[in-house]
Amino acid sequence: MSAPHRFDRGHTDDLMTFLAASPTPYHAVANAAERLEKAGFRQVAETDAWDGSSGGKYVLRGGAIIAWYVPEDAAPHTPYRIVGAHTDSPNLRVKPLPDAGAHGWRQVAVEIYGGPLMNSWLDRDLGLAGRLTLRDGSTRLVNVDRPLLRVPQLAIHLDRAVSSDGLKLDKQRHLQPIWGLGHDVRDGDLIAFLEEELGLGAGEVTGWDLMTHSVEAPAYLGRDKELVAGPRMDNLLSVHAGVAALTAVSGTPGLPYIPVLAAFDHEENGSQSDTGADGPLLGGVLERSVFARGGSYEDRARAFAGTVCLSSDTGHAVHPNYAERHDPTHHPRVNGGPILKVNVNNRYATDGSGRAVWAAACERADVPFQSFVSNNSMPCGTTIGPITAARHGIKTVDIGVAILSMHSVRELCGADDPHLLANALVSFLEG
């Protein structure tokens, strides 16, 4: 079966648009849903009874989205092909009592989310975005995408040791951004400001999930523009590729699998939430799809037994200034194609049979791929792959795109790797 679409650098242009428009997981899933709607998918509510009709469907829950396409001839026991990813990125998130300040400066109290490279947040023009919950229980997205906040670094004249001892940041004291001047801290100021931004009445907002983001736009970089610098590539690069691949294969006649995109929240802090990969969301959606098509528990077991998930997340490209930190025989390079992640201690879920599935998909798509393992002397990171495999009992393969500056406010990838990944995902979903 040939791919219905072949992605190129235009896909990378579109990725940059997606990154800029998605400063939070809530915005990312809203933008993904909009693209799915344009491709003919329709939202289904978890509180409604589901029918067994064919076509594209999706579920939204907080910062997570599960989307799937049911072919017309899909049996209840038809297996799934899943692209898994996550929508969250390390950042600075607003505390329940956000209004702070000292010595004539007005500040916003923030908490550290995930494991950011904290120095990368210094002296950046930061916006503020997220989700507001109103008194009536409804929610509104907010995005102040202009210079609003800044975490100022201490001048070298007041920290001479920084040149010899390195920068040392205290997470509580040194990362609270400023956003104005004033001697009196007034409770409610920040939320009142956001209510005014959205044209809401005073006191209408009763809950919030807010986070900071750099307002600097993604950009091509290098003499030949062969690189892309931008925010939240870990892991909106994979979310974007998954949406593109799923919409590309939807409607393809003769699909032997049900293609799925599962983009979770909270990967950066362990995935243990109702919208994380370690929660029941994916399993519930897949099971309900089986049962809605008249299936039994036996059909559900057969479907899961034949299912394969590609857990797509960014990985580490070899760093020219720190090559000794990498495995000496595994040096993934940007624009060398997506990477297959392997760890025998199960920090990644890939095994030999999973490698074969991935290799076949890349071969059909004419996409090169590389292998990644950690240096034996370095701890290995992990992602949603092992969690997905263990929680649902489905074969899972960890893959992704090699980048530099992972967990920085601004990461770096090759300009060709995003569309190479998307082409490989199309091939995988088609089976």
Q: Quick check: 160 pLDDT over 90?
A: no
Which residue spans within 169-325 are E strands per DSSP? 178-181, 205-214, 219-221, 227-230, 258-264, 308-312, 315-316
Contacts of 32 (CB under 8 A, 6+ apart): 65, 67, 239, 243, 261, 263
Q: Quick check: 311 pLDDT over 60?
A: yes
Q: Quick check: 233 pLDDT over 60?
A: yes
Among 180-184, 215-219, 268-272, 383-387, which is the least confidently predicted range?
180-184
Q: Which two tokens stand for residue 138?
A: 């409804």
Q: Quick check: 4 pLDDT over 60?
A: no
Of 362, 190, 23, whose CA–CA distance to 31 is shortest? 23
Residue 423 and residue 107: Cα distance in Å, rounded? 45
Residue 103 and residue 145: Cα distance in Å, rounded? 27
Tell me the residue length of the chain: 431
Average pLDDT over residues 369-390: 95
Backbone phi, psi, residue 425, to 5°: -65, -40
Name the one residue in this structure whose structure tokens are 């990725």. Answer: 15
Q: Quick check: 129 pLDDT over 60?
A: yes
Q: How much is the CA Rg of the chain, to the nearest whole Å?
A: 22
Of 41, 39, 28, whose CA–CA distance to 67 is shortest? 41
pLDDT of residue 5: 64
Residue 338 and residue 362: Cα distance in Å, rounded? 9
Asked whether the beta carbons of 395 and 354 are under 8 A apart, the reply is yes
Where residue 1 falls among pLDDT bands split at 50, 70, 90? very low
pLDDT digits (tens, 9 = 90+) for 177-230: 999 999 888 999 999 999 999 999 999 999 999 999 999 999 999 999 999 999
Q: At what angle do helices 417-430 and 9-21 cross, to 10 degrees?
A: 100
pLDDT of residue 183: 86
pLDDT of residue 2: 44
Residue 424 and residue 360: Cα distance in Å, rounded? 9
Helix, strand, coil percentages in the chain from 3-state DSSP, rounded to 5: 30, 30, 40
Residue 251 and residue 230: Cα distance in Å, rounded? 33
Q: How many CB atoms lie within 10 A of CB 382?
A: 21
Q: What is the DSSP letter of 340?
A: E
pLDDT digits (tens, 9 = 90+) for 285-304: 999 999 999 999 999 999 99
Backbone phi, psi, residue 87, to 5°: -100, -15
Cα atoms in the Cβ-side hemisphere of radius 13 Å centred on 73: 5
Average pLDDT over residues 247-261: 96
Residue 303 and residue 156: Cα distance in Å, rounded? 61
Average pLDDT over residues 70-84: 97
Q: Do you find a cis peptide bond into 235, omega within 30 degrees of 0?
A: yes
pLDDT of residue 347: 96
Where residue 3 falls among pLDDT bands split at 50, 70, 90? very low
Sign (positive or negative) of CA dihedral 39, 41, 42, 43: negative
Contacts of 377 (CB under 8 A, 6+ apart): none
